[in-house]
Amino acid sequence: MLIEYVDVFISGMTNGSVYALMAVGLTLVYGVSKAFNFAYGSFFSLGGYLAWILLALVGIWGGYISVFLVALPLLMVFGYVTEKLIVAPLRKRSDWEIKVMMLTLGLALFMDNLFQVVFGSRMKSLPPIVDGVLEVGDLVVSYQDVVIFILSISGILAFRWFLNNTRIGMAVRAVAQNPEGARIVGIPKDRIFAATFGISTVMVGLGGVLLAQKYFVSPSGGWDILVKSWVITAFGGMGSIRGGLYAAFILGMLEAFVGYWFGMTWVLFALFGVLLATLAVRPQGLLGKWG
């Protein structure tokens, strides 16, 4: 009995770590610039396809390490440019929050179908980062899950370090806390907005690479990720990174245990049920403040 709960617990932790990585990027952009990125799921797929191009098409030397070295900067540039080109011009308009949502939804549709036209509608697979399983007594964990867990957590830690210890990171926090004040002390707000967009693209793209080797890549595979990240950020409090982390692990566990006890069909009901209950009590989510 106990061993099964440990098994389900591990499944929940694996889910949680990946969700955390995804949700942090989404919550960052919302926290800093109040923009909600509907194309987040497509950015996830973009990460997966980039890895596929590098590994399967180009056959890059050095395997996944080279993939990270090449793909992550590319994603950063992609995110930065996207913000500058199509999100920033909207900022001055009335109703800009709705318009950003609509625009990014259009972008999602465009990107997903571009993937389909370019790569075909059939899924692409990547070689696993590592093979084999770790056996501890009756417990079996694949090394793949271990690596995903470690890399996700390292990604988040690196990001925290970046926010707390670098000049750009501190500027990002300043803009999030008090945009007006940040402007007065001379922080280039527009550039910070674009930078956060780029960083969030890197986070979700990294998630895309990590998950692509376990779950594969397909043109519209990002929607699931978008919805889950969205639920997590709202649950944890949009804009709160710590809240997002807690939410990711709580929901990851919830998913695993509801799936185990009641069946997979109930997972979605449970997720939204918990979200609604939380928002009814705390409209700003668990930790609805920057922190």
Burial category of 109 from C-beta neighbours within 10 Å (exposed 0-12, middle 13-18, buried 19 and up): middle
> At which residue do the structure tokens 């069909």 appear?
265
Give the whole-angstrom CA distance, residue 264 versus residue 262.
7
At residue 136, the 3 state secondary structure works out as strand
Integer CA distances (angstroms), 232 to 114, 124, 131, 154, 279, in order: 28, 27, 30, 19, 12
Q: Is 117 in the site for another protein (CB under 8 A)?
A: yes
**# chain residues binding another protein, by CB under 8 A:** 72
In angstroms, what is the minimal distance from the CB of 219 to another protein?
Answer: 9
Stretch of 58-66, 67-75, 85-93, 165-173 lying at the interface with another protein (CB under 8 A): 85-93
Q: Is 177 in the site for another protein (CB under 8 A)?
A: no
Stretch of 51-59, 115-123, 150-158, 166-174 lying at the interface with another protein (CB under 8 A): 115-123
The DSSP code for 93 is S
The token pair at 177 is 């806390």
Q: Which of 161, 178, 188, 272 binds another protein (CB under 8 A)?
A: 272
Q: CB under 8 Å to 44, separation ≥6 — which residues?
A: 22, 204, 205, 207, 208, 211, 221, 222, 225, 226
Q: Which of 70, 74, 114, 274 binds another protein (CB under 8 A)?
A: 114
Which residues, 219 to 258, sit near another protein by CB under 8 A?
A: 220-221, 223-224, 227, 230-231, 234, 238, 255-257
Q: Which of 20, 51, 72, 103 binds another protein (CB under 8 A)?
A: 103
Q: Which of 57, 63, 264, 289 binds another protein (CB under 8 A)?
A: 264
Give the whole-angstrom CA distance, residue 57 versus residue 67.
12
Element (H, E) at 134: strand 133-136
Residue nearer to another protein on the CB measure, 161 or 272: 272
Which residues, 32 to 51, sit near another protein by CB under 8 A?
A: 34, 36
In angstroms, what is the minimal distance from the CB of 32 to another protein?
Answer: 14
Stretch of 48-56, 72-80, 179-187, 266-274 lying at the interface with another protein (CB under 8 A): 266-274
Q: Is 99 in the site for another protein (CB under 8 A)?
A: yes
Q: Which of 17, 20, 30, 290 binds another protein (CB under 8 A)?
A: 30
Give the whole-angstrom CA distance, residue 211 versus residue 200.
16
Residue 26: CB atoms within 10 Å? 25
Q: Which of 110, 154, 158, 161 binds another protein (CB under 8 A)?
A: 110
User: Cβ distance 67 to 212 under 8 Å?
Assistant: no
Give the whole-angstrom CA distance, residue 212 versus residue 205.
10
Residue nearer to another protein on the CB measure, 72 or 207: 207
Which residues, 142 to 161, sit near another protein by CB under 8 A?
A: 142
Which residues, 180 to 199, sit near another protein by CB under 8 A?
A: none
Closest CA to 212 of 129, 279, 285: 129
- Count how many residues are written for the chain: 291
Q: Is 121 in the site for another protein (CB under 8 A)?
A: yes
Q: Is 84 in the site for another protein (CB under 8 A)?
A: no
